[in-house]
Amino acid sequence: MSFGGFLDNSSGGGLGGATIVADIPFSNNMAAAGAMAQNIYNSPGLSLALQQPSIDNQGDGVRMGENFDASIGRRSREEEHESRSGSDNIDGVSGDDQDAADNRPRKKRYHRHTPQQIQELEALFKECPHPDEKQRLELSKRLCLETRQVKFWFQNRRTQMKTQLERHENSLLRQENDKLRAENMSIREAMRNPICTNCGGPAIIGDLSLEEQHLRIENARLKDELDRVCALASKFLGRPLSSLATSIAPPLPNSNLELGVGSNGFGGLSTTLPLGPDFGGGVSNSLPVVPPNGVERSMFLELALAAMYELVKMAQTDEPLWIRSLEGGREVLNHDEYSRMFTPCIGIKPAGFLTEASRQTGVVIINSLALVETLMDSNRWAEMFPCMIARTSTTDVISSGMGGTRNGAIQLMHAELQLLSPLVPVREVNFLRFCKQHAEGVWAVVDVSIDTLRETSGAPTTYVKCRRLPSGCVVQDMPNGYSKVTWVEHVEYDESQVHHLYRPLLSSGIGFGAQRWVATLQRQCECLAILMSSTVPTGDHTAITASGRRSMLKLAQRMTGNFSAGVCASTVHKWNKLNAGNVDEDVRVMTRKSVDNPGEPPGIVLSAATSVWLPVSPQRLFDFLRDERLRSEWDILSNGGPMQEIAHIAKGQDHGNCVSLLRSSAMNTNQSSMLILQETCMDAGGSLVVYAPVDIPAMQVVMNGGDSAYVALLPSGFSIIPDGTASPGPTTSNGNGDSHRVGGSLLTVAFQILVNSLPTAKLTVESVETVNNLISCTVQKIKAALQCES
């Protein structure tokens, strides 16, 4: 088994948050500009820290504009009045107050502050740009000024700073624009008269070098990227930006726009997210105009930020958003509180869809960087969750991250999620995955469906049976290479195609819920830690070499993957469903042709699977099916006798998580050349027993470290999950007169059998009946052995 380099303990640096410079156009109306500044400084949760140059407190005011733009000559009357706004006040009136005053014309009287008053005012302005009424009152008494004079001075001072900053920014933009325009003109001139690099003479377009052609392609790509970034920036800044380079400006130092999400059990985790004008209320319906090839991507960027905000909130907020259930103690989402806190970022729930939501926290033996790399790589993600992900792929990469890390990475993915039962359809989802580092050693990865956005943008779509609301995990590093993982699953799905036996399980959030993701992650990471350890676990056969262990585990991994594909009918194999009249209603029979596959015998492969409910606890059922000494009670391959374990490879601390090699103890010459490879695993989400007959010569090669890809096998086995409710189970007593109800198990039985070694042969009715009878007989034997025929 190869999961990639998960156990790298190096930790990457993080960014404290996103920096956004708010750029608001200046208005000549001084009161309007002061009100704008007032709104910015009064906004809750926002902080604006501006780096100020040294200020000369001498003379009749502060003329910061002269420091920024020395190229501007004589000022206009308007600018002269503007420069006096920090130290001069119109006596008794300012801005809108003057408009609301008496309409009788009167002469404006100006009051010039003394240098001492200006020094006091500037000192307080540095500490508090927006003093409250108490501070203004104290300052007015100390400086012998009226309270309104102090108030208007601060308004004018803030307006003056805004004007000077905008003037400086406009100067930088003009310089950058002039430089880019000159560069553009030189490039156009060079393209108009191309010169051959070999002979120095004129060249035609076909003679352009390969490097020049690549540069043109790169230029087109960068332009598209610039348009996309400008569209997103215009959304954040609240005003349209040109898609050309005139909108590019370096960020001002110490300028932050932050949204503190808070902390709840994360050791002071403070999540910093960009905040746009409509961000607090979800995704805005009004998007800036961008080229057709950039509309969808700008929408994806906006959706990613909204989904990340929702995920972190749901991961950190307890009651009243999450309520502890009285049955089982699991957390249940309060949908009323959820609707109050969040605006649906992918639209309203379709008619007839149900909602499932769950949250689970656990400690996993993997560091945050390794887990993030696993989640952002589709192949490694599927390897980490083999029984939950049938197939996945990355369809597009919008952003690969910043600084060589996954921070800020956004990609579009497709996945087929499965529950091992033929009665539950595979969930196909197209979603966006966004990764963000919130602090040192704290990461979050969020998924959200994109089908609604594609409908909005006019892209071709199909009927969606499942929508993934913001779901994912928040990962925080812990000592000794462990991580604390908080997983949130939130899905809307069509229940009409789900069998009634599994509807309570799915609606409760157990079937595809967060508990199953965390439990599988814990088990897989524990297995990886054991495989990477130099010591051989107790109970393992030391005769198997390290390379032999890896080959056996790789073979078992392929066996379990093929078993899952046969149960759920995913697109990993091209199955054809059979509608045979002589097959039980809840038994699904499928067939496919196996050709040119060295890992399978050639011919016609028949797969049959069914699911039943048994009034037995999952632990008891798992122990019965994995015990080689009791195998003869249900397995016809055991020849009526017990099986003997001849090889054992542990995959976890629990003895049930292992790969075994079994041999029949009964003496039979027909079976003397066959062994049974078996993999068993169990966690809080369910358990699995998968096995396949294998040749002894082939297994000897594998146990010596040979390639396992050429070992032909067809897997069969069982999947066991809790039924999600305790109501159907029997009542038991603890001996003190107290009785409680025990939950049952949902058992899936599946077989894959080679019915004909010729791929061109036709499937016979007898073959289908044989497989159907095999499943029915096996289920009846299990019920009889566990005494639960009823």
- Classify 545 as helix, strand or coil: coil
Measure CA 566 to chain center: 28
Please state, in angstroms and as integers, the Cα–Cα distance from residue 537 to each residue in 342, 530, 532, 653, 725, following that order.
49, 8, 11, 9, 36
- Averaged over 428-455, what is the pLDDT? 89
Taking residue 620's Cβ as centre, other Cβ atoms within 10 Å add up to 14
Query: Which of 91 and 474 is assigned the larger pLDDT?
Result: 474
State the angle between helix axes of 618-626 and 765-785 in degrees (0 to 180), rounded to the nearest 10.
Answer: 110
What percent of the chain lies above the pLDDT cut of 90?
26
Q: How confident is the model over 166-184, as a mean pLDDT?
A: 88
Q: Which residue has the higher pLDDT, 737 or 633?
A: 633
Tell me, what's the pLDDT at 57? 40
- What's the whole-number mean pLDDT along residues 659-688? 79
The predicted pLDDT at position 147 comes to 87
pLDDT for the residue 446: 96
- C-alpha dihedral over 549, 551, 556, 561, to 10 degrees? 140
CB 698 within 8 A of CB 676: no
What's the pLDDT at 602? Answer: 87
Task: Tell me what the mean pLDDT of segment 563-588 comes to.
Answer: 75
| Backbone phi and psi for residue 754, each to the nearest 5 degrees, phi listed first | -85, 110
Residue 69 is classified by DSSP as -
Q: Determine the average pLDDT of the residues in 400-429.
A: 90
Q: Which residue has the tokens 């640096």?
A: 13
User: Measured on CA atoms in the order 778, 783, 784, 790, is the torsion positive or negative?
Assistant: negative
pLDDT score of 105: 54
Q: Which of 502-511, 570-579, 625-634 has the lowest mean pLDDT?
A: 570-579
Contact 316, 263 (CB under 8 A): yes
DSSP SS3 for 441? coil
CA 790 to CA 572: how far, in whole Å? Answer: 37
Read off the tokens for 483.
């991580």
**What letters, b where the CB count within 10 A reaches 16 and e where it falls short, cover 603-618?**
bbbbbbbbbbebbbbb
Spatial CA neighbour of 66 closest among 154, 156, 160 = 160
In order of 327, 390, 615, the CA distances from 736 in angstroms are 22, 47, 23
What's the gap between Cα 611 and its chain centre?
A: 32
Q: How confident is the model at residue 67 (pLDDT cuts 50, 70, 90)?
A: very low
Higher per-residue pLDDT: 689 or 455: 689
Q: Where are the domains of the chain?
A: 115-166, 296-530, 536-726+743-786
pLDDT number for residue 392: 92
* CATH H-level superfamily of 536-726+743-786: START domain (3.30.530.20)
Q: Using one digit for the tens of pLDDT, what is the confidence trace for 762-778? A: 878 888 888 888 888 99
Assess whether pLDDT exceeds 80 at residue 295.
no
At 206 the pLDDT is: 53
84: helix, strand or coil: helix
Q: Which residues are CB-contacts of 651 (< 8 A; sequence separation ≥ 6)?
A: 526, 527, 530, 531, 553, 657, 658, 659, 681
Mutual orientation of helices 30-42 and 147-192 as an angle, nearest 10°?
Answer: 90
- Tell me if 85 sits within 8 A of 156, measured CB to CB: yes
More confident residue, 216 or 489: 489
Q: Rounded to whole angstroms, how far apart are CA atoms 697 and 702?
A: 9
84: Cβ–Cβ under 8 A, 6 or more apart, which residues? 60, 61, 110
Q: What mean pLDDT do residues 177-200 have?
A: 77
* Predicted pLDDT at 265: 33
* Domain pair 296-530 / 536-726+743-786, same fold: yes
CA distance 108 to 123: 28
pLDDT at 129 over 50: yes
pTM: 0.62
Mean per-residue pLDDT over the chain, rounded: 74
Does residue 231 or residue 700 have the better pLDDT? Answer: 700
User: In Å, how far from its chain's centre is CA 272?
Assistant: 17
Q: Are 50 and 153 in contact (CB under 8 A)?
A: no
| Number of residues in the chain | 790
In sequence order, what are the beta bridge partners of 359? 488
pLDDT over threshold 50, residue 689: yes
Q: Bridge-partner residues for 360, per DSSP?
A: 487
As given in the structure block, the two tokens for residue 510 are 């157990």
Does the pLDDT at position 101 exceed 90? no
First CA to last CA across the chain, in angstroms? 41
pLDDT of residue 489: 94
Among the ranges 38-47, 174-183, 225-234, 587-596, which has the highest mean pLDDT value?
174-183
- Of 42-46, 400-404, 441-445, 461-465, the one with minimum mean pLDDT is 42-46
* 361 contact partners, CB below 8 Å, separation of at least 6: 265, 484, 485, 486, 487, 518
Which region among 225-234, 328-337, 352-361 has the lowest average model confidence (pLDDT)?
225-234
Q: How distant, in Å, are the alpha carbons of 331, 354, 549 from that of 489? A: 12, 14, 35
Give the pLDDT score at 673: 64
- Split at pLDDT 50, 70, 90, the class of 538 is low
pLDDT by residue (tens digit) across 262-290?
333 333 333 333 333 333 333 333 323 33
CB 691 within 8 A of CB 535: no
H helical segments located in 318-423: 335-341, 368-376, 378-384
Contacts of 417 (CB under 8 A, 6+ apart): 388, 389, 390, 426, 427, 429, 466, 512
pLDDT-derived band at 588 (thresholds 50, 70, 90) equals confident
Place domain 115-166 in its CATH homologous superfamily: Homeodomain-like (1.10.10.60)
Q: Which residue has the tokens 């130092």?
A: 253
Rg (CA), the chain: 35
DSSP string covering 131-147, please?
Answer: --HHHHHHHHHHHT--H
Segment 401-422 shows an average pLDDT of 90
566 confidence band (pLDDT: 50, 70, 90): confident
Tell me what the mean pLDDT of segment 88-96 comes to: 46
Spatial contact of 676 and 702, defined as CB atoms under 8 Å apart: no
- What class is the 296-530 domain? alpha beta
Question: Residue 779 in 3-state DSSP?
Answer: helix
Question: Which range in 80-89, 182-191, 229-238, 395-404 is most confidently predicted, on average pLDDT?
Answer: 395-404
Instruction: Provide the pLDDT for residue 365.
Output: 93
**Which is higher by pLDDT, 591 or 678?**
678
Q: Is the confidence at residue 211, as pLDDT, over 90?
A: no
> What is the C-alpha separation between 426 and 414, in angstroms, rounded?
13
Model pLDDT, residue 12: 41
> According to the model, what pLDDT value does residue 680 have?
95
Q: What pLDDT shows up at residue 455?
A: 60
What is the distance, to the nearest Å, from the Cα of residue 593 to the centroid of all Cα atoms in its chain? 37
What is the average per-residue pLDDT within 191-219?
A: 66
Q: State both tokens at 433.
A: 């995955």
